[in-house]
Amino acid sequence: MDHRAQTLARSRIVLRGQLQGVGFRPYVYRLAHRHGVGGYVANSSRGVIIEVEGAASAIAAFETDLLALTGGPMLAVIDEVSRETLPVLGEATFVIRPSSHAGDDKPEVTPDAAVCSDCLTELFDPTDRRHRYPFINCTNCGPRYSIIRATPYDRPATTMATFTMCPACQSEYEDPLDRRFHAQPNACSACGPTLRLCLPDRSRVDVDPIVDAARRLVDGEILAVKGIGGFHLACRADSEEVVSRLRERKLRDGKPLAVMIGKADDAGRFAEATRSELDALASASAPIVLMRRRPDCTLAPSVAPNCPNVALMLPYAPHHHLLFAQGIPPLVMTSANLSGLPLTYTDDDAFEQLSDVADAFLTHDREIHRPIDDSVVSVFQDRPTPVRRARGYAPRSLWLPIATPTEIERQPRVLAVGGELKSAVALMFDGKVVLSEHLGDLMRPQTYRSFIAAIDRLKKLYEFEPDVIAHDLHPRYLSTTYATGFGIETTAVQHHHAHIVAVMAEHGLTEPVIGLSCDGTGYGTDAAVWGCEVLRCERHAFDRLGQLEYFPLVGGDAAAVQTWRPAASLAFAALGPAWKTEVGGVFDSVPNADLANFESQLSSGVNCPATSSLGRLFDAAAFLLGLCPLNRHEAEAAMALEAAAREEAAEPFGYEIADEDGYLTIRSAPMIRELIEAIRHGQPEDLLAARFHETVARMLVDAAAGACESSQIGTVALSGGCFANRRLLARVVELLESRNLRVVHPRQAPCGDGGLALGQAVAATEIIRRREGES
């Protein structure tokens, strides 16, 4: 059809999503030329604005290809589309206009992305002008969030502003048909950042930094390596002596360490990798992927002791690829913060904090404005789900299908500050939630200061001031202290309610669900330590329909570390006063004085808060089976228990679900009695670990199904850190679905406390809406 013979029309299309800094405007430019339409494309604070003019059929064909992202940039994501018809202006030429920044709306900020295949080809091409340049990038890859200071995303608003492009780079930057058109970190060896190798005294080693760093790693040295979002501590992962030395220096006893491998094909040497896991590994987000460890895995044992999985990642920065091109073995690549401290990301802090840890420093002069850790994902039902949401994922917005335009207009701007462990915060505005990167555990002054700084940076980036701050119900969390110190309206959201509301928000659920919220600890409305809850949840409220039967947490917080304490409490509850005689030699490793103090505390009730924690039940089973006497890091005992369980299905132990006027109490005492009896009869630990998992899955499902029946609800939402256990998650989902119940669980936010802020923000918004509607 001859478009010129048709009546001209003009349309404006406004797109929101992950569209800035990904090569989207050049894509639109090329698409417009292909369809013969005039007009313009521009970035703005509202998103990407496109006006097209031409024959109606040409505009329709353009829009079809545009919204399908036909031939579009790999990082582009369209979340929202609006259109309007405009008067014809007679524009026959299509152009790219400069960015504009006006109004209250803010554009999406794109996460950092792994180096793309085109850049890798150039990196290793001896004839290319960027051959072996460690900071090669284009619109399809490279740093984004970690270098941005303000929006719109243009070079002056990034840490690349200090590097003036050479004529060759400037020409690429200005050419709409070039892959580096408006690639804000664009640079080359003539004008861009440089890599250098230094000793702990900051003196520079005047050799090829890549070649010498690779040699040192092969020789068993520990290096601090500056990447996209911070420093790693790196060492060869196949040497027990070297990895043990790293652990000793870093003071990180048992936490599993991530391993970087040279290429995806190498994953099969260490893990029973599935196709979906390999796809996640090689994605632009380049996360750490948890995979089932091979029995003959040749990595050093202390890389991931007592853990069923190995945490693998691929090189994602150009200098990582250059290192592996030197023929080095797999590397431990662990965040270069000493245990319990925030991520190290500036050179000054690295040399101050790590000079006794690292033998040398591979660093560079591109400033990191926003420190960001590596993301960790677990693949379930062929889809990656964040365990730790950070580089490659944050600060990607979660758009809420539950919000109507009218609701969005009336919504308060909410800052949600999360919990105490695995902290992340969230900003809720304009019908979306911006969930921050993983910020760590708020247990030390340094981490708390880092938490405050991250909030300030996020608020500045989005020009955001909250109307309301949502926080956990726990009165002594540092995040609660932060929230209540502002002098503005606050809303407390119960911990396990927030977990379930986060899942509801992800899945766009507005009707009530039955929530199974299972973790280690959460402050309950009765001031007890909750952790295995059956809830009837709406976004604004919940009813507690059931729980794991309370047992005393003798020693308080010490019981989360010393696994014998919950084991002894549960043994006493199951066996009575003669428990020590009944258990045989299971507690022989515990000093008699500690056991005497335990019984004294138990009888007096001093420092014995009641708990329904499923996490502590896992700890108890791990101790009884001799798998883990101490939680040196969170969930170490649970990981050891999952690792010990044989793969085959196993018969459950006994358990009871007591129904008292519709309130369901899960009683684990029969299981504990049978487990101890089986241990005394010498049943193998792999069988008993499998039976424990099967029992927990079945008792959770029975309780949830009972709550569904009594409430006439057909959807069950699963969340809480215990569902990071893939064996437990898979079995619970299987059993619930076999009862014709719909099951939803986290996909975009972590199931643990890293997803709390999402639930807090959505719950607080609905609580306020309901309250205002009643007034």
Q: What is the per-residue DSSP string for 89-122?
A: ----SEEEPPP---SS-----PPPBPPPHHHHHH
Residue 18 has pLDDT above 90, yes or no: no
Q: Please return the burial class of 393, using the count of CB atoms within 10 Å of its CB with bins 0-12, 13-18 and 19+.
A: buried
Q: Which residues does 339 contact at the CB level (< 8 Å), separation at least 6?
A: 250, 251, 252, 253, 255
**Which value, in Å, is the radius of gyration of the alpha carbons in the chain?**
28
At a CB cut-off of 8 Å and minimum separation 6, what does 60 contact? none
Select from 618, 636, 559, 612 the least CA-distant residue to 590: 559
**How confident is the model at residue 17, as a pLDDT?**
85
DSSP state at residue 448: H
Determine the average pLDDT of the residues in 115-127.
Answer: 97
Tokens of 219: 């020789």
The predicted structure's pLDDT at residue 262:
97
- pLDDT over 70 (residue 739): yes
pLDDT tens digits along 598-608: 999 999 999 99
Q: How far is Cα 721 from Cα 687, in angstroms, rounded to an integer?
A: 24
* Model confidence band, residue 176 (pLDDT cutoffs 50, 70, 90): confident
Share of residues in the chain with pLDDT > 70 (%): 97
pLDDT (tens digit, 9 = 90+) per residue, 684-712? 999 999 999 999 999 999 999 999 999 99
Strand partners, 529: 523, 611
Q: Given pLDDT bands bounded at 50, 70 and 90, which one contains residue 736?
A: very high
CA 464 – CA 429 distance, rounded (Å): 9
Considering only CA atoms, which of 321, 708, 293 is closest in space to residue 535?
Answer: 708
State the angle between helix axes of 726-737 and 636-644 in degrees (0 to 180), rounded to the nearest 10.
Answer: 70
Q: Is the pLDDT of residue 1 over 50?
A: no
Q: What is the pTM of this model?
A: 0.93
pLDDT grade, residue 108 (50/70/90)? confident
Per-position b or e across 325-349, b if 16+ CB within 10 A of its CB:
eeebbbbbbbbbbbeebbbbbbbeb
Whether 402 shows a pLDDT value over 70: the answer reads no
Determine the pLDDT at residue 716.
98
Contact, 570 vs 668, CB < 8 A? yes
- CA proximity to 551, closest of 500, 619, 597, 652: 619
Q: Inform me whether the pLDDT recorded for 378 exceeds 80.
A: yes
Lowest mean pLDDT among 80-94, 117-131, 244-258, 293-307: 244-258
Which pLDDT score, from 0 to 100, does residue 252 have? 67
Q: How many whole angstroms separate alpha carbon 278 and alpha carbon 264? A: 7
Indicate whether 4 pLDDT > 60: no
Average of per-residue pLDDT across 346-375: 97
Separation between Cα atoms, residue 745 and residue 499, nearest integer Å: 10
pLDDT grade, residue 102 (50/70/90)? low
Which pLDDT does position 100 carry in this prediction?
A: 67
- Picking from 546, 674, 553, the residue whose alpha carbon sits closest to that of residue 621 is 674
3-state secondary structure 297-321: CCCCHHHCCCCCEEEEECCCCHHHH
35-44, 401-410, 481-490, 740-749: lowest mean pLDDT where?
A: 401-410
The answer to whether 657 and 666 have CB atoms below 8 angstroms apart is yes
pLDDT bracket for residue 338 (50, 70, 90): confident
pLDDT digit string (tens) for 293-319? 999 999 999 999 989 999 999 999 999
Q: What is the pLDDT of residue 272?
A: 96
Reported as a single tens digit per residue, the pLDDT across 221-239 is 999 999 999 999 999 999 9
| DSSP helix/strand/coil, 724 | helix
Q: Is the pLDDT of residue 437 over 50?
A: yes
Chain segment 65-77, per-residue pLDDT in tens: 999 998 888 889 8
Summarised one tens digit per residue, pLDDT across range 248-260 is: 998 767 889 999 9
Q: Can you give the pLDDT at residue 183?
A: 92
pLDDT of residue 113: 96
Q: Is the pLDDT of residue 434 over 60?
A: yes
Percent of the chain with pLDDT over 90: 85
Q: Read off the pLDDT of residues 541-566 as tens digits, 9 standing for 90 and up.
A: 999 999 999 999 999 999 999 999 99
Tokens describing residue 726:
């893939």
**Mean pLDDT value across the chain:** 94
Structure tokens belonging to residue 325: 């091109």
Task: Write out the H or E segment, with its range, that includes residue 621.
Answer: helix 614-624
Span 103-116, mean pLDDT? 81
Give the span between the Cα atoms of 706 and 687, in whole angstroms. 28
Average pLDDT estimate for 611-629: 97
Q: How far is CA 80 from CA 14, 46, 475, in A?
A: 8, 11, 39
